[in-house]
Chain A
Amino acid sequence: TQLLEQSPQFLSIQEGENLTVYCNSSSVFSSLQWYRQEPGEGPVLLVTVVTGGEVKKLKRLTFQFGDARKDSSLHITAAQPGDTGLYLCAGDQGGKLIFGQGTELSVKP
């Protein structure tokens, strides 16, 4: 059973466009992390959100945790080719991280 659904699975956009990635679940998480992974490398932690309704910004990336702590979104403003990669959300359930299937983002110059 996939507890975390990410959408879209694939996204191909032009440089300068905005995009949003969604991470949805019917389960409540004590925290939720977003990671970015490049081919052949390990996931790199971008941010952790803990409080329902929390919004965190990391340069052009904005992360939001849903009020009920069941869902999250990642918004990228003015995407750049360097943003290309696999974006993974992961929810913490009792110390276990449950990962979504990922969103493969390609930003073309």
Chain B
Amino acid sequence: DSGVTQTPKHLITATGQRVTLRCSPRSGDLSVYWYQQSLDQGLQFLIQYYNGEERAKGNILERFSAQQFPDLHSELNLSSLELGDSALYFCASSSYPGTSVDNEQFFGPGTRLTVL
């Protein structure tokens, strides 16, 4: 158990809909990262938040957005969903760049999103 929690575990929805994925980081970690994992693209970095502020952005679509709340939990919002958005979405947390010199990230169990 990494200490990172994600809900829901599974999500099935239809094209055009909007969903929200939730993540709670390990106790004490200020950084939260979101990743998308699909069979053809592998594990792709989407976005990072550090202590409530957006810190780095990867290949995140404009239809996707995220935020980190004062209690440090984070939400990833996916809207106007398409079939191609079906994937595993992982959240990870780390104490970098705060108290850690290495960007060791601890992953949650993921949310499997299926868009029908």
A, B bound: yes
Chain A interfacial positions (CB closer than 8 Å to B): 30-31, 33, 35, 40-45, 48, 50, 88, 90, 92, 94-102
Distance of A15 Cα from B108 Cα, bound (Å): 30
Q: Decide: A48 near B110, CB < 8 A? Known: A95-B96, A96-B58, A102-B42.
A: no
Q: What is the CB-to-nearest-CB distance from B19 to chain A, in angstroms, rounded to a whole number?
A: 19
Taking a contact as CB atoms closer than 8 A, the residue among A40, A44, A48 that contacts B2 in the complex is A44
Residues from chain A with a CB closer than 8 A to the CB of B112 are 40
Q: How far is the CA of A98 from the CA of B90 in the complex (A)?
A: 14
Report the interface size for chain B: residues with CB under 8 A from the other chain: 27
B55 nearest CB across to chain A (Å): 7
B105 at interface, CB cutoff 8 A? yes
B residues near A (Cβ < 8 Å) are 2, 4, 33, 42-45, 48, 55-56, 58, 88, 90, 92, 96-97, 101-110, 112
CB A65 to nearest CB in B, in angstroms, measures 12
10 pairs of A and B residues whose beta carbons are closest in the complex:
A42-B107, A99-B43, A92-B103, A101-B42, A31-B102, A48-B102, A43-B107, A42-B109, A42-B110, A96-B56
Docked Cα-Cα span, A99 to B35, in Å, equals 10
Name B43's closest neighbour in chain A (CB-CB): A99
Q: For residue A100, give the distance in angstroms from its CB to the closest CB of chain B.
A: 8
Chain A: minimal CB distance from B60 (Å): 12
* Complex Cα gap A60–B2 (Å): 22
A40-B112, A42-B90, A42-B110 known; A97+B105 contact, CB < 8 A = yes
Closest-CB distance, A15 to chain B (whole angstroms): 28
Q: List 26 A-B contacts (CB under 8 A).
A: A30-B103, A33-B102, A33-B104, A35-B107, A40-B88, A40-B110, A41-B109, A42-B2, A42-B4, A42-B90, A42-B108, A44-B2, A44-B107, A45-B104, A48-B102, A50-B101, A50-B102, A90-B43, A92-B103, A94-B56, A95-B103, A96-B48, A97-B33, A99-B42, A99-B45, A102-B42
Contacts of B97 in A (CB 8 A): 95
CA distance A50 to B101 in the complex (A): 10
Q: Kindly state the separation between the CA atoms of A66 and B10 in the bound complex, as whole angstroms.
A: 39
